[in-house]
Structure 1
């Protein structure tokens, strides 16, 4: 089942950081689309809940040195 999850991300310093988060998330099996916003400090991910549970999304973001503050919505 596909789901859209929005995560609040701490530690972004520029649009390049947002692109890094998108790249990290795109490597997670089950992620269909990932968009990150430096200005909004958020990542919006369309993913298969079974293949890519939220904990996997958070772990992928953490690999880049970013911190997920909270799930939004």
Structure 2
């Protein structure tokens, strides 16, 4: 398992954060997700054999948000 933190631009409310969480929860290999509107971050525990950070970033950006940084 691997942890990743994505800084997300464009989250305007808790509903936005919830929408991103739902999308990430549906990705194969994702074990746990928390998305915070307040901090503008998504923290993801995932299996790197099943899903890549690039795929996770694309999932976050699909509804129009932007990944500013990854850790």
Provide the TM-score with structure 2 as the length reference: 0.96
Task: Give the gaps of 5 or more residues in structure 2.
Answer: none
Provide the TM-score with structure 1 as the length reference: 0.93
Partner of 1:22: 21
Aligned-residue offset at 1:54: 0.2
Aligned-residue offset at 1:63: 1.0
In the alignment, is the contact (CA less than 8 A) between 1:24 and 1:64 conserved in 2?
no
Describe the superposition over 1:15-60 as per-residue Cα deviations: whole angstroms up to 9, x where unpaired: 0000011001011110011110000000000000111110010010
Task: Give the gaps of 5 or more residues in structure 1.
Answer: none
RMSD over aligned Cα atoms = 0.7
Aligned length: 71
Question: Do residues 49 (structure 1) and 41 (structure 2) align?
Answer: no
